[in-house]
Amino acid sequence: MELRDNQPKWNRRKDARPAEIIEAALHVFTEQGFASAKLEEVARRAGIAKGTLYRYFDTKEDLFRAVVQHAIAGNLQTIEQAAQAFQGSLRELVPVLLTQIAGRMSNSRLPALARLVIGESRVFPDLARIWHDNVVAHVLRLLTSLIAEAQARGEVRPGDPTAYALSIVGPLVTGMLFSEVFGVAGPHAMSLATLAVQHAETVLRGMLLAASESSPKEEGNLQEIT
Amino acid sequence: MELRDNQPKWNRRKDARPAEIIEAALHVFTEQGFASAKLEEVARRAGIAKGTLYRYFDTKEDLFRAVVQHAIAGNLQTIEQAAQAFQGSLRELVPVLLTQIAGRMSNSRLPALARLVIGESRVFPDLARIWHDNVVAHVLRLLTSLIAEAQARGEVRPGDPTAYALSIVGPLVTGMLFSEVFGVAGPHAMSLATLAVQHAETVLRGMLLAASESSPKEEGNLQEIT
DNA sequence: TATGTAAATGACCCAAAAGTCATTTACATA
DNA sequence: TATGTAAATGACTTTTGGGTCATTTACATA
């Protein structure tokens, strides 16, 4: 009955494991939530036995934290890069920013992660805080200071810069959440790209002082990010 | 040792129980999430024994569904009432609408419920659907048709009415979620009322065709709702 | 090729909490 | 006041899945 080759039943892959486990756990956690996720399934997805998990993560909680922090770190540098590229007036900045956000939302697991963090934020307030400090506050601070500068230059009407920042990104955040929670099958399955373009126009017209009144000729400059 | 009066150890309250249980469960579920919530604690809060729960709800899941549906039904009639009162142009409507929403968000358990539904929407997609159909789609459909009518009257610029609707409510929804998830202690602890007033101005200026250019004299017209 | 070590396994243990049910007790009715 | 019934109880059972550990086995080293 023993038709086995002398292939090993398993391999020693000490340093490849953590990343693979985190990847598998990201899938399972985003799909089922923290409590419903079974470590048995995480292990299966990672191609290892359950016991092996515990060589790399002490508890289910530890694994969860690692998953969220890893995912945030991944998006963090993207934000940094985008921050560098920020040049020019709000007039040209906002459409590009929103379109990029829309593109990123569509093909990344960031919305799923957001839903996960929101859902677990009562049980893991520290993760909500990390998410806030590294992603939300980061972006908001950047936007807010850009707006304040533009106000100083006389480009933007008086008003609270933070509120303006929410006026800019709020609709996209909401649209992302809706499509994540209610699915694309919902009656309001509106393309985030369309929303981004139209809202950029709308909010800019509302914020800017009547000086730059150039309507955008081209409207298909969203960049897909893999 | 038996110093007891002849007070009954418990009362028969067949029809008062369900509402009390649902109320207690709403607290526990919104505070801990579905999985972490203990029926023992729900029972304690409701002033009954755990076994009694099962005379009114077959499973924990059933109780959870009842909680969400009950809460939605409560908000539903509020929405209906508001829909009736909708008169006049968008110019006067939007500030009132946003201010009312801001007020309602601040002193109701709706944000907590929203977080709960979002968090459990993977495990209970049917509840997400109910929430969507009765709350989100309802409000969005109402707003969208108002916008379309205003466009037909030549008040609002051309564009997708649904996208405009998201431009209007998105920032407040986002602000609500942020304060719910990250707490008021966050560095962006912006008053929803302030956001409502400023964003109403901004988004209206962006949407309306240059005809109604009346800047608001008074700016303190937010109504607190108890 | 022999051998030490540590990566990997999976059967097992056990705590926690959902769910059950025989018993108790309020109270409506006669 | 006696009595039937069903509301309420809480000790008990069951299930589930996180966490453990003695054992197996890959593989680096000599």
- B173-195, pLDDT tens digit by residue? 999 999 999 987 655 667 999 99
- The predicted structure's pLDDT at residue B217: 39
- The predicted structure's pLDDT at residue A189: 65
Q: Measured between alpha carbons, how far is A19 from A176 in angstroms, rounded to an integer? A: 27
Task: Yes or no: say if B128 and A181 are a contact pair by the CB < 8 Å rule.
Answer: yes
- The predicted structure's pLDDT at residue A78: 83
CA(B5)–C1'(D1) in Å? 21
Residue A139 and residue A57 share a domain: no
* Owning domain of residue B43: 13-71
Q: Which of A63-72, B48-57, B103-112, B205-214 has the lowest mean pLDDT?
A: B205-214
Q: Measured between alpha carbons, how far is B65 from B7 in angstroms, rounded to an integer? A: 35
Mean pLDDT, chain B, whole residue set = 88
B208: helix, strand or coil? strand
Residue A116 and residue A41 share a domain: no
Confidence of residue A102 (pLDDT cuts 50, 70, 90): very high
Amino acid in position B163: A
* Nucleotide nearest to B40 in CA–C1' terms: C17
A185 has a chain B CB within 8 A of its CB:
no
Tell me the pLDDT tens digit for each residue of B45-99.
999 999 999 999 999 999 999 999 999 998 888 888 888 887 788 999 999 999 9
Half-sphere CA count of A205, side-chain side, radius 13 A: 20
- On the question of pLDDT at A186 being above 90, the answer is no
Q: Measured between alpha carbons, how far is A110 from A114 in angstroms, rounded to an integer? A: 6
A6: helix, strand or coil? coil
Q: What is the pTM of this model?
A: 0.90
Mean pLDDT, chain A, whole residue set = 87
Place of tokens 């807010």: A144
- The predicted structure's pLDDT at residue A220: 37
Give how far A100 is from chain B: nearest CA, Å.
17
Residue A68 and residue A94 share a domain: no
- Specify the number of domains making up chain B: 2
Residue A156 and residue A46 share a domain: no
Q: Measured between alpha carbons, how far is A33 from A37 in angstroms, rounded to an integer? A: 6
Dihedral through CA B166, CA B168, CA B170, CA B172, nearest 10? Answer: -160
Residue A42 and residue A119 share a domain: no
DSSP conformational letter for A88: S
Report the CATH number at residue A152: 1.10.357.10
- On the question of pLDDT at B118 being above 50, the answer is yes
C27 closest protein residue (CA to C1'): B12
Report the CATH number at residue B54: 1.10.10.60
Which of residues B225 and B6 earns the better pLDDT score?
B6
C-alpha distances out from residue A104 to A224, B26, B113, Å:
7, 35, 28
Measured from the Cβ of residue A5, the count of other Cβ atoms closer than 10 Å reads 5
Tell me the pLDDT tens digit for each residue of A4-52.
456 788 898 878 899 999 999 999 999 999 999 999 999 999 999 999 9
Beta partners for residue A208, in sequence order: A156
- On the question of pLDDT at A187 being above 80, the answer is no
Q: How far is CA B217 from the centre of its chain?
A: 30
Q: Which of B35, B117, B170 sits opposite A171 (nearest CB)?
A: B170
